[in-house]
Structure formats: structure tokens, C-alpha cells
Amino acid sequence: MSPIFAGAPRRAAGFALAALCGCGHPAPPPAPPPLPVLSAPVERPNTPPSLSVSGNAPDGIATYGATVALTARCDDREDGRLTGIHWTNGPGELLGAGAELRLMPEPGEYVLLATCSDLAGTATTVAASPRFEIIDRWSAADSVPVLVRLPYATTRGGSITPRSPGRSFDGTARDSLARGLLTVNVPSGDFRATGSAVRTPYMRSVRGNVASDDARRLSLRAIDATDSSAFARQLAQGLSEGVREERLVFVHGYRTSFESAAVRAARLAAEVQFPGATILFAWSSNAQLASYRSDQRAARDAGRQLAALLRELRADPGTSDLSIVSHSMGAEVLAAALRTLHEADSAAGATRMPPVMFREVVLVAPDLAAGAFLEQVLPALSARAARVTIYASAADFALWSSWGSNGERRLGLGGRFATLARGVETIEVPYSATDALGHNPFTAPPFRDDLHGLLVQHLPASLRSLREIRRDDGTIVWQLP
């Protein structure tokens, strides 16, 4: 059979089979299932968590001691309820973690923030509070003690005694200055009854966690020694964190131990509610009634060291205001310091540094010859001080005794012996506003209030609550109420 016809019988058989089944044509093979269409999977974007905060966050100004209580709720669509919440302040300092925050903020400005992150690392941050300020204000009625940080510089001999800070220095003299920082607990009643004080790096109230008798106990708690570089650095840092960058140097008087001088300086800071740093200059008083002459010599010798301290404070670029308060024989120290400064400036000539300048110079019951003040001290002060104030008393028995001993009228005597001069405000202190000797007005409320107006508010005598007494020659003496 020819190959061309070889498939004929099979085709015929196929047609015969089709005829038998009634199909007419052979059945086609079944179609294959459709192939799946391949495409990229669609991913749902991760949503940030939802964060809400409730609580008692202050708005504006709040008083130190209040507790801030905040609660946060964080929900995430993918991860559900989340508890990984962190609380921070504006600069990013971590304050706490968890759904709740309880905080008693220190004085300062705040904005509280809450942050919640989901498992994918997506975070949500919300403001948990408006901007607010915590101010610690207190008065004598609050019955809270005050801790005064007291920088000191001393010409006294001795060494640091941590367990008895007040006994660290004695009445002997040294050639160089020793410097450091004292912490003094001042009872609540030892500051102005009127007005209020503000917590600063150098003075703060103590609320809680103190001994029950601290509100009534005056004590030196701690003493730390430092060198001149660290002394200046610590002063600048503390002042930069405070209310005002002002410095007040206090120079004590005759018959005063180191501990008594520290107590007087710390009480002065609290009494007038000074907003900056009060610095104690402690010269080597012998602290004995019979040591008047030796104390007088020591006071004059200490002027050179006080001048050195004042130059350091002047040289510090952080200094904006410098005032000085001297009591009693402390005026001798100040007078000697001014002579030293004047001689140094004259010797330096054109190469000298800018002179030491004072915003306020205050002499309280000054045990200094009135003639020497007018002829030698006042000309130097007039060139250096914005204002000079003398507190004098006609009933100062200590200065009457000093007049008899020295044979010269004392600058701190008031009444008809008051020293009046151009550029000097003389304040008469009545005997009712001093101690039994008429020599110490620091604890009298009228004196505290007036010193506050002078050193803190920088008001002239005409704008303070003083009585004006005009003499026959037209000069004016002011009097405490």
C-alpha cells in the first residue's frame, strides 16, 4: 500500500465511530484551566499610635511643692494597647516611664512631653502640659527652714573641720585667702515677715525630709574648701542658674568668730531675700572683748586681701552687679581695701585693668573715724560706687566707747553727730530698731525691710518707707520708721 493511503483506514474508522455516536465531528479535548495572574502584594501602611494625656498639669505659674500627676493612654491599630510610654521635659531629660507620671518639679520652666512607640518603631509625641513655671516662694509664716549656700573667703588660720564647720577657722591670720562654700540652715523666722523670698541656687526653702527642729535651729551644716579657680567657676555657674546675677560681699565687725560671721552673713541673705550670691569675707577677728586693738590692726591688715577678692570678682566676666555691706569694724577693712585698690590703679597707670565698681556700698554702724572717711575713703568711693549708704544711731553705745578709745568721732554715730556728705545717704536708726548696745540693727523688721529696698530693689532713700528730716542748713537725714 502506498504510504499516502496508509492512514485512510484509521480515518474511516474514526468517521464510522462518529456516525455511530451521532456527534457528527470528533469531540475536542477539554480546555486547560486558566493560569493565575501574578501581581505584587498590597501592603497596608503602619499607622502611628494614638496618644492622649490627662491630669493636673499646671498652666502659667505654680508654687514649688505641688505634685503633677499625669496619665497617658496609647492605642495602636496594629498592636493594640501599648504601655511603653516615656515622659520627658523640653530639653529631652527623661522624667519617667509607664502610663503614669507623678512629679514634684524643682523651680524652673517646664514643658512636659509624652512619647509612645509601636512595635514597628513608629513614635508619637504629644505635649503633656502647657509651658509652666515653678517658683518657690515662702515667707516667715510658712514655718519652713531655709538653706543658704554661702561662698566664703577668709584670712583666718585653721583647717577644715567637716563635723564642726564653725570651728574650722580661728583668730590667727594667714597671708593668703582660703576659699570655700558653707551650707547654713536658717530658721524660718529669720527673714522678712513681709513679702516673700524666691528659691535660688544660693538660697532655698526646705520642705519635708528635714529634722523637726530645723525650722527653729540655726546651724552650719557643711563646709567645703576650694581654690580660687574653682571658687570663681562655681560662683559663675550658680549665678547663671539663678534669678539675678548679683553678688553681695559681707564684711563682719569686731569680736566675731568665724561661725558668728557665717551666721550673720547667711541671715543677711535670708533677711533681705537677696536674689544672688552672698559672699562672706571673714577676717581674723580674735572674738574677744579685750582684743579691740588687735582686731583693729587685723582689720586694717585684711584690706589687702579684701582688695584681692574684689579684683577677682571684678575680673570674672560673669559679674554684672557687685555690692558690699560692712558692719562695725568691717568698715576699717573696706577703707584699707579701697586704699590698696587706689594705690594699685595709680601704679599701673595706663595698663591698669578697669576699676572695681560697686552698685551699692552699705556701712552699718561703721566703726571708722568720720574725718578719715570724708578725707580719704569717700573720694575713692565716689569714683567707684553708684550709691553709698550709712546706717547710724545716736544711741550706739559701742561707738561712743570707741570714740573715747580712739579719740575721734565715729562714722556710725547719728543724731547731731551724724556725718553728712554729698553723694551719701545717711539713715538714722532709732534705738528701738537695734540691740541693747544700739549697735546691731540686723534683726529689726524696719531695718530688714529697708535693706531689702536698697539691696534688692535698688531704690533710693526718697522712694523707700523712710521719714525725711530736713536740718536747718538744708541737709537731709532719713530715719527708719
- Topology (CATH) of 50-135: Immunoglobulin-like (2.60.40)
Q: Report the largest interatomic distance among the alpha carbons of the chain, rounded to a whole angstrom.
A: 168
Residue environment code for 424-441, b if the CB has 16+ CB neighbours within 10 A, otherwise e: bbbbbbbeebbeebbbbb
Q: Which helix (H) or strand (E) holds 372?
A: helix 370-372
Q: 3-state class of 266 per DSSP?
A: helix
Q: Which three cell numbers stand for residue 245?
A: 546675677
- Between CA 250 and CA 225 the distance in angstroms is 19
Confidence of residue 30 (pLDDT cuts 50, 70, 90): confident
**pLDDT tens digits, 52-74:** 999 999 999 988 878 899 999 99
- Between CA 442 and CA 271 the distance in angstroms is 8
Q: What is the pLDDT of residue 35?
A: 65
Q: Which three cell numbers stand for residue 426?
A: 545717711
pTM of the shown model: 0.80
Contact present, 427 and 391 (Cβ < 8 Å): yes
**pLDDT tens digits, 73-98:** 999 999 999 999 999 998 889 999 99
Q: Cell numbers 585667702 label which residue?
A: 177
The domain spans of the chain are: 50-135, 137-479
- Between CA 275 and CA 257 the distance in angstroms is 26
CATH number of the 137-479 domain: 3.40.50
Residue environment code for 211-234, b if the CB has 16+ CB neighbours within 10 A, otherwise e: eeebbeeebbeebeebeeeebbeb
**pLDDT tens digits, 400-426:** 999 999 999 999 999 999 999 999 999
**pLDDT tens digits, 194-223:** 877 888 899 988 876 556 666 678 899 999
User: What residues contact 23, with CB distance under 8 A and at least 6 apart?
Assistant: none
**pLDDT tens digits, 348-389:** 765 567 788 999 999 999 999 999 999 999 999 999 999 999
